[in-house]
Amino acid sequence: MLGTTLYSMTNEWLAGQYTLGSLIDEVGRRGIGPGVEVIGFQSLRGFPNKVADEELRTLRDAIERNGLVPTSLASNADIALRKDRWMDADRSVEYMRPQIELAGRLGFPVVRTQLGLTPEVLEKVEPLAAKAGVKLGMEVHAPEGPNTPKVMATREAYARIDSEFLGFVPDFSSCMRAIPVGMLDKLRRDGLSEAGVESLERAWQAPGAPFQRYGQFAAECGELGEPELPVGFARLVFTMFGRENLEDWREVLPQVVHIHGKFYDVDDDLTSPSIDYEGVMRVFAELDHQVSMSSEWEGHAYLDADEQDAFDMVARHHAMCSRFLGADQLATV
Amino acid sequence: MTLEAQVLGDSAVRAADGGYEVDLHLAWYRSLPLSCLEGIDLTINEEVASRESLKVTVGDRQLGLDDLPELDDEWWFVQDALTVHVPSSTPVAPGGHVDVDVTLATRVPYIIIGPDTALVQRTHVVKKVVVQ
- At A215, the amino acid letter reads G
* Partner A contacted by B35 (CB < 8 A): yes
d(CA A91, CA A31): 41
Instruction: Give the residues across from B55 on adjacent strands.
Output: B64, B85
Instruction: Convert the pLDDT of each residue in A158-180 to its tens digit.
Output: 999 999 999 999 999 999 999 99
Q: Which position among A141, A258, A317, A318 bears the catalytic label?
A: A141
Residue pLDDT, tens place only, A233-257: 898 899 999 999 999 999 999 999 9
Give the CATH superfamily of A2-178+244-332.
Answer: Divalent-metal-dependent TIM barrel enzymes (3.20.20.150)
Contacts of A304 in chain B (CB under 8 A): 1-2, 5
Distance from the Cα of A191 to chain B's closest Cα (Å) equals: 13
B115 has pLDDT over 90: no
Name the strand (E) or helix (H) holding A232.
helix A228-233
Q: How far is CA A187 from CA A76, A147, A169, A226, A310, in A?
A: 29, 31, 30, 11, 21
Q: What is the pLDDT of residues A263-303, one digit of tens each?
A: 999 999 999 999 999 999 999 999 999 999 999 999 998 88
Looking only at the bridges linking them, the beta strands covering B75-76 and B32-33 are: antiparallel
CA distance A46 to A139: 23
pLDDT at position A307:
87
Distances from the Cα of A202 to the Cα of A57, A191, A216, A239, angstroms: 50, 18, 10, 16
Q: Do B69 and A84 touch (CB under 8 A)?
A: yes
Q: Does A86 touch chain B (CB under 8 A)?
A: yes
pTM strictly above 0.80 = yes
Interface mutation vs chain A, best among B6, B25, B30, most A CBs within 10 Å: B30
Q: How long is chain B?
A: 132
Contact B110 A15 (CB under 8 A): no
Overall domain count for chain B: 1
Report how far residue A104's alpha carbon sits from residue A56's, in angstroms, rounded to the nearest whole number. 12
Smallest CA–CA distance from B5 into chain A, residue: A304
Q: How far is CA A212 from CA A153, A209, A239, B23, in A?
A: 22, 5, 12, 39
Asked if B66 is an interface residue toward chain A (Cβ–Cβ < 8 A), one would say no
Q: Are strands B19-24 and B13-16 parallel, antiparallel or unpaired?
A: antiparallel
Looking at beta carbons, which residues of chain B come within 8 Å of A305?
A: 2
Cross-strand partners of B124: B103
Instruction: Report which of A76, A188, A114 is spatially closest to residue B29, judged by C-alpha positions.
Output: A76
ipTM of this predicted complex? Answer: 0.94
Q: Can you give the residue range of the structural domain that contains B83? A: 2-130
Q: What is the pLDDT of residues A193-249, one digit of tens each?
A: 999 999 999 999 999 988 899 999 999 999 999 999 899 889 889 999 999 999 999
Per-residue burial over A114-126, b if 16 or more Cβ lie within 10 Å, else e, is bbbbbeebbbbbb
> Which CATH number covers residue B123?
2.60.40
Closest chain A CA to residue B73: A81
On whether any CB of chain A is under 8 Å from the CB of B110, the answer is yes
Classify residue A14 as exposed, middle or buried by CB count within 10 Å of its CB (0-12, 13-18, 19+).
buried
Chain B interface mutation, best of A7, A73, A83, highest count of B Cβ atoms under 10 Å: A83
Domain with CATH 3.20.20.150 in chain A: 2-178+244-332
Respond yes or no: is residue A141 known to be catalytic: yes
Which chain A positions have a beta carbon within 8 Å of B25's beta carbon?
14
DSSP E strand stretches across chain A:
2-5, 35-39, 69-74, 110-113, 135-140, 166-170, 258-263, 292-297
Distance between CA atoms of residues A88 and A91, nearest Å: 5
